[in-house]
A and B are shown apart, each in its own frame.
Chain A
Amino acid sequence: GDSVTQMEGPVTLSEEACLTINCTYTATGYPSLFWYVQYPGEGLQLLLKATKADDKGSNKGFEATYRKETTSFHLEKGSVQVSDSAVYFCALSDLNTGNQFYFGTGTSLTVIP
């Protein structure tokens, strides 16, 4: 079935460092891919999305490119800030296999000044 695998955390970076969080997926069809962010005690917020191969999603300095050949959707940011500290979830949805979103286990990011 459909699934998402994320790199395990936690990840600790200094402010202004580069960030990459790896995400790979398994899907039988042509899924849409998402990154959600969760701040402490809060629900999930959509960070960015891509709906077809080679699409690049971007928001707030974060980017991810939908790579069908490697079934990946890695999250990147060139210069992280303390305010980026949160848990990041990779997710997919696939109309061909049902009516739900599949989430990875999340990667906790802490950015220190």
Chain B
Amino acid sequence: DTGVSQDPRHKITKRGQNVTFRCDPISEHNRLYWYRQTLGQGPEFLTYFQNEAQLEKSRLLSDRFSAERPKGSFSTLEIQRTEQGDSAMYLCASSSGLVWAFFGQGTRLTVV
């Protein structure tokens, strides 16, 4: 297993377009997290899945954001009608408990 994989690594999109990111966690991990990181800041929690159930969502996750984990394996994060303020690094992490989490390399989104 090569760890947590995210695709794409980079995405440039025009304001108002929709984008979708994918995360493939470590295969035996039942917990999956999405975080957002802006320049010079630490990661901010967006949402959390245990298996296929989305159990927690941050207030940062506006109605334009939606995340799914349909079969309890990979997850997608969609942003609709992107805004310039959505430009950030989107990080996915997985774990088998709250002991520690393994992070992917992230998807850097630039909205122009």
Contact = CB atoms under 8 A, between A and B. Distances in A.
Nearest to B56: A99
Interface string B1-40: 0001010000000000000000000000001010000001
B93 to A, nearest CB: 8
Interface residues of B, number: 25
A1 B21 CA distance: 30
Given A100-B48, A101-B33, A32 B98 contact: yes
Interface string B53-82: 001100000000000000000000000000
A46 B40 CA distance: 19
Contacts of A89: 42-43
B103 A45 contact: yes
Interface residues of A, dominant DSSP: strand
Contacts of B43: 44, 89, 101, 103
A52 to B, nearest CB: 12
A43 B101 contact: no
Report the interface size class on chain A. 20 to 34
Interface in A91-113: 91, 93-95, 98-106
B105 A32 contact: no
Nearest to B89: A43
Given A42-B105, A43-B105, A43-B106, A104 B48 contact: no
Given A43-B104, A43-B106, A101 B45 contact: yes
Interface of B: 4, 6, 31, 33, 40-45, 48, 50, 55-56, 91, 93, 98-106
